[in-house]
Amino acid sequence: MEPLGTFEIIARVLYQFTSVWLALIILFAVSIAFKRRLGLYGKLFDSPIGMVGFALVMFWIFTGVFGQFDLIVTHDSLSQVSGMKNKVPGTPMPRPEEGEYAWYLLGGDNLARDVFSRVIDGAWVVVQIAPLATLFAFMVGITLGLPAGYFGGRLDTGISFMANLILAFPVILLFYLLVTPEIVLTGVPNFMAAVLFIFPVVFAGVLINSRYHTQPKFRTPLMIVVLGGMLWVYLSLISTNGYLVSNKDYAIPALPEILDLFDVSGGILVVFVSVVFVNSPTVFRIVRGLAMDIKTRDYVAAAQTRGEGAWYIMLWEILPNARGPLIVDFCLRIGYTTILLGTLGFFGLGLPPESPDWGSTINEGRKLLSIYLHPALPPALALLSLVLGLNLLADGLREESLKD
């Protein structure tokens, strides 16, 4: 078979994304039609910058998700095909089987795997980890930042010192110290997971209790359902094969295997924990600053005069009024988390070496960069466009939220 020309490659790549284009068109058509009824999200469609950003972000989210349903990928991202090592984009397969895609659209990497499919699968790694890790970092930051800003004093000094301690660490050194296999063996990341992941549970508990503690009949069942569910997920998250940590020296049992809902593979958990750990002090500082600013407002004073509890004021008066800057920062921070994930991959830390995530692929591609460009460039541009999309989205949101 003939190798593909440039235009044919572009056309075929665009065609592979058909499902994503359709989903994007539907999403935009529906959102623009109903934009007046959708609040801040609807206003996003008034700003061209925000729309471009949102389109880029949604493009990669759809790509990541549909890639998992085999709608986009042309080959298995891990399988190697002999004769395709370092081949240029558009090279036909030597002996394509029945029903197999006959070309490597973006060429093969140095292990003869399809670059195009690896980029698509890499999107799924980011879509899985980045938003969730950022959400966890926000939970930790909010749960610690609100009391630090609201109460001040010793508590504030103590937590701020800890946050500055983590911030003073060079991120890469921290990654190297936390993510090496030897450290993983001792269970340090598992302990950190156990501590960091409890924050959403605490947050939900305090949130419900501070609001409904005057109606115990309603509160108690709600608490049992919500906290029970969250604790179950929490325990499933931190325990693997029935243990929190299990190595040759000691083992700490956790949730029995029968009750374990899902298993997070070791590499992903460690990466997740370290990214949350690095992000939460910055979120803490932002929330603390906002809380210190908002606690001087009149509506907080009114709530205090009403005799509301401290946690009610923090979570139901201060937090909703801090949502604007927090939403904007959330978008920016997902972008930053994506960059951090790439950094981890770039240094070959955490995720398994054959993992298709963008950082690892760039790292592998850069070694032969002066001869072959095609393995390193697509993941680099993919990462760039996603982070750019998130930054533009944050910019659009900031602009629109300032307009009210």
Partner 1 sequence: MGLFILRRSAVMILTAICLTFIVFFLTNLYPNLEKLAKTQGNFRMSDEAVTSWLTKNGYLQPLPVKYGQWLGVLPGWVIDADDGVTGRCITGTVSPKVAEQAASYCGIIQGNWGQSTVFKDEVGGIIAARLGRTGALMFWVMLLMVPSALVVGVMAGMNEGSKTDRTLSTFSIITTATPEYVSGVIFIAVFASSAVGLKWFKGTATQAAKNMPDDYGIAWLPDWMVGFWYRVFEAPTLENFLLPVLTIALYGMGYIARMTRASMAEVMTAQYIRTARLKGVKFSNIVMKHALRNALIAPFTVIMLQIPWLLNGVVIVETLFNYKGFGWAMVQAAGNNDIELLLGVSVVSVMVVLATQLISDIGYVYLNPRIRIT
Instruction: Enumerate binding residues for partner 1 (CB under 8 A).
Output: 161, 164-165, 167-173, 176-178, 180, 182-183, 185-186, 188, 249, 335, 339, 342-343, 346-347, 359, 362-363, 365-366, 369-373, 376-377, 380-381, 383-384, 387-388, 390-392, 395
Task: Indicate the residue among 84 and 390 with the shorter CB distance to partner 1.
Answer: 390
What lies within 8 Å, CB to CB, of 319 at 6+ separation is 142, 146
CA 256 distance to own-chain centroid: 28
Least gap, CB of 366 to partner 1 (angstroms): 6
Task: Indicate the residue among 82 and 370 with the shorter CB distance to partner 1.
Answer: 370
For the four alpha carbons of 95, 98, 101 and 102, in that order, the dihedral sign comes to positive
Task: Indicate the residue among 132 and 368 with the shorter CB distance to partner 1.
Answer: 368
175 vs 173: CA distance, rounded Å: 5
DSSP state of 149: H
Least gap, CB of 169 to partner 1 (angstroms): 6
| Residue (of 54, 68, 63) closest to 21 by Cα position | 63
Tokens standing for residue 158 = 């103590």
Task: Indicate the residue among 173 and 258 with the shorter CB distance to partner 1.
Answer: 173
| Residue (of 68, 75, 81, 85) closest to 121 by Cα position | 68
3-state secondary structure of 116: helix
Task: Indicate the residue among 286 and 319 with the shorter CB distance to partner 1.
Answer: 286
The total number of residues shown for the chain amounts to 404
Note the maximum CA span of the chain. Answer: 80
Least gap, CB of 127 to partner 1 (angstroms): 17
Least gap, CB of 385 to partner 1 (angstroms): 8
Least gap, CB of 372 to partner 1 (angstroms): 7
Least gap, CB of 186 to partner 1 (angstroms): 5
Task: Indicate the residue among 311 and 346 with the shorter CB distance to partner 1.
Answer: 346
